[in-house]
Every structure is written in C-alpha cells, then in structure tokens.
Amino acid sequence: MTAVTIVWFRHDLRLDDNPAFIEACRRGSVLPVFIWAPEEEAPWEPGSASRWWLHQSLEKLSEKLAQVGCPLVIRRGPTLRALQQLVQEVHATHVVWNRRYEPAVIERDTTIKKTLSKDGLHAESFGGSLLCEPAHIATKQGNPYQVFTPFWRALLARDEPAEPIAAPRKVKPVAMKSVKTLSLDALNLLPEHDWSEVMNTSWSPGEAGGKKLLKSFLNKGLDSYDDGRNRPDQQGTSSLSPHLHFGEISPRRVWHAVREATGGKPAKSIVGSPEVYLREIGWREFANHLLYHFPHTPNEPLRKDYNRFPWVDDPVGLRAWQKGRTGFPIVDAGMQQLWRTGWMHNRVRMIVASFLVKDLRITWLEGARWFWDTLVDADLAANTLGWQWAAGCGADAAPYFRIFNPTSQQQKFDPQEEYINHWVVRDDTYPEPIVDHAEARKQALSALKQVTGK
C-alpha cells in the first residue's frame, strides 16, 4: 500500500531544499497543507507586516504546488484537530514538517507529535530552517554558548552543511475530491487599511523572489559587503532576511552559493567580505541557539540584573519614536523606512534601538513589540537578540554604556544625507529634537549604576 503523507508547511514556504517535502515525495502520495492558528504562538502571534508577507508567500507557494499537480490545502486551527481531520479524510499514514524553534511552537509541536504517534501515525520533523540544530552545538562543558565568536568557531569546525537538494520534479498528489480547502483570502491576512502600498513595490515574496535576490547580491554586493552593509544610502545588503524567515530560501542554499561564488573553498578558508556575510548567517544560527536554550528571553532579559533597570514610562516619546518624529533625522529616516516598507537597514536598526533604550530610556520590550508588528522579517530569535544586544541585557550584548550618538552616526554612515532625504521631509513642520543627547547620555549612565552598583 502506498504511503500517504501530509506535509505541514510553516516557515518553509518553498519546494527547493525542503527536507520534509522531499521526504514525503520519496514515500508516495503527498498532501501539502498550511494551517492558520496564530493564537497558538501567543504572546508572539505574527504581526501585521508578517501577515502581509505571509499572504503573498502562500500565494506563490500555492502557484508553485499547482504547477507540479499538488494543490495546497488551507485550513484554520486548532492545528492538532485540523491535522487529525485531514488524516481521516485522506487516510494518511505519515505527517511530516520542518522544525521551528520558538518556545510556544516547540511546546505545541511536541504535543502534536506525541498525539499523532499515539493515534498510530508516523509523525516526523526535519531540520530545514538552520545549518545546525541548536541542541547539537555546545561548549566543552556541554553548555549553550552565550558569546558569538566561540559559537562561530565551533560552527565552522563542524563538517560543511550538506549540499542543498533540488525540488522534486515529480510529485504524486492525493486524490482531492473529498478534501476541502479555504481560500487564502479567508484567512484575512492583509491589513484593512492598505499601509502596505510601498511594500507592494519594494518586495517580491516567494521562492522565486528569494532566489533572484540572492543571485543579484552575489553578482553585485558580496565582494563589497564588509563596507556596504553599514551604508544605508547604498544597496549594500542582500535583503534576504524575510525570505530566510519564511523559509522561501534555505540557509544551506545561501551558504553554498557563497562558497561557490568564492571558488568552492571551505567556509573556514573564506576571507574578506564573503566571510563577513557568512558570519551574518552565523548570527542567525546564534540567535536561534539562544532562543532554544533560553526560551524566556523574548519577554525577560537574559541578564537578570537588568530586571531592576529604571526604565522610563514615556508614551509621548515612544509615539514620537514610532512615527519617526524625534527630530533626529537618521532615527526618523529609519522609522519612516520601517513604516513604509516593512524593513530597515541593519545599521539604522542599531541606531534607532540605541536611541529608544538609551536616549529615551524606554524598555527594549517596547521596541521589540513595535518591530515585531512592523517588520516583514520579524523573527523572534533575531528580534530578541537584537533588542537585548542594544539594551545591554542579552548574550554577547553591547555594553549599556556604549551609546550611539545619532548625529555622528549620521555623519559617518550617511555623509551626503541621501538616505535621510529619501525618507524624511525636513520642512517647517519637522520637529526639534525631543531630547538633548548629551544630557540623555548622562542620565542613561546614571541609571546603569542601579544595575551595576558602580
């Protein structure tokens, strides 16, 4: 009897180098399904910008699956119930998926695997989102890493990640006559008010869009990445983060593409800008490593002493920051770029984060929540790492006393103000600075003494 396998798609919205999908195709008939159950990811349900991207990506995945004769089934949660119903409808023998590492998702997935196994199903998860499983890398003492550099060395010391596997050319679909599916529009992922107009022209969600961006970056940006990544006025980054987050392209595909572009060298032998870019893939791995081993960190500082940091309750300042009306052009440009495109240059992310937690002394959690709702690449691991880094309370964090001066950052990284002028109109209505940076810096350092006692 031929196996019937349900492939549960999540943050792996691609056919190329998709371990769960490829294994399902190898076994027999395949039923691809996406189940919308955001409440199961609380308190970090997908934000508005993420939902916009998800709609576009699911649309592209559905088209891709239709081309190979294997339509995507869309259901609503609860996920376990939806899977059990589908098992009965198609007489499935296997349910497979690629792993995720958010705390709520791990707990949910563990329950689902145990329940399906008790039901007599073969339930199996695969590693399709990272180069290395978080549980498979540790210090010599067997502990998780909390500093990036030794983590990176340990990652490089391992065997190269396996070569990516191309999408199957043939897929045997399950008979769909009795299988009902929701329309994508029924999920109501798109915002009621179309604040995403610029996003529609800025991005091409989906597997093909990710591959196109990677190819363009390898040809035009890889060799100058070390300098270009710090210049928001230039196209110096790959912009692959949302494609990686939604699994439209695999990290193995990116890793080996960089190796191929540098002559096929082992990753540990690559130097210069390509090595710097590979390190960014390493930071993504490190973020997930931390989230897996310290699941409380999306809501609490890793460094417990920061629980007593005297954050300021300042709704007016927070709103000015969110809307890009602080009177500091580089900060406001970043926040305007975020609001209009769902993305912000990484150098500017560090600047605006420093401004919120140090100039305004507003808790990093407010920043994390705002980014979560407005970033198309909102990733719980990366978002948590980035904000705790800025606040000085996380692993390998910048010390709190490292306070970015927004004016000098602007002069260094946007010297001709091309980035600022693109996003900010400095007319008669443009506000004066809402804080005195020098005075705010003194107050931030004074607040730090309540944590360190020095």
Of 281, 200, 282, 202, the C-alpha closest to 244 is: 281
> Which of 59, 195, 300, 311 is an active site residue?
311
pLDDT at res. 85? 96
Q: How far is CA 218 from CA 226, 245, 273, in A?
A: 13, 19, 11
> Which of 343, 387, 389, 423 is an active site residue?
387
* DSSP string covering 257-308: HHHHHTTS--GGG--HHHHHHHHHHHHHHHHHHHHHH-TTTTTS-SSGGGGG
Q: Tell me if residue 255 is catalytic.
A: no
Q: How far is CA 296 from CA 47, 84, 132, 256, 432, in A?
A: 20, 31, 21, 33, 39
Q: Tell me if residue 280 is catalytic.
A: yes
> Which of 23, 160, 280, 300 is an active site residue?
280
pLDDT at res. 1? 57
Q: Tell me if residue 364 is catalytic.
A: yes
> Which of 255, 364, 372, 423 is an active site residue?
364
34: left (phi > 0), else alpha (psi -120 to 50), else beta? beta
Question: What tens-digit pLDDT sequence spans the chain (454 residues)?
Answer: 578 999 999 999 999 999 999 999 999 999 999 999 999 999 999 999 999 999 999 999 999 999 999 999 999 999 999 999 999 999 999 999 999 999 999 999 999 999 999 999 999 999 999 999 999 999 999 999 999 999 999 999 999 999 999 999 889 988 777 789 999 999 999 987 666 678 888 899 999 999 999 999 999 999 999 999 999 999 999 999 999 999 999 999 999 999 999 999 999 999 999 999 999 999 999 999 999 999 999 999 999 999 999 999 999 999 999 999 999 999 999 999 999 999 999 999 999 999 999 999 999 999 999 999 999 999 999 999 999 999 999 988 777 788 999 999 999 999 999 999 999 999 999 999 999 999 999 999 999 888 876 6
Task: Kindly provide the b/e burial profile for residues 422-436, where b requires at least 16 CB atoms within 10 angstroms of the residue's own CB.
Answer: ebbeeeeeeeeebbe
Which domains does the chain carry?
3-128 (3.40.50.620), 130-165+206-293 (1.25.40.80), 304-452 (1.10.579.10)
Q: Which pTM was predicted?
A: 0.96
> Which of 346, 405, 417, 421 is an active site residue?
346
> Which of 8, 283, 389, 423 is an active site residue?
283
Q: Tell me if residue 339 is catalytic.
A: no
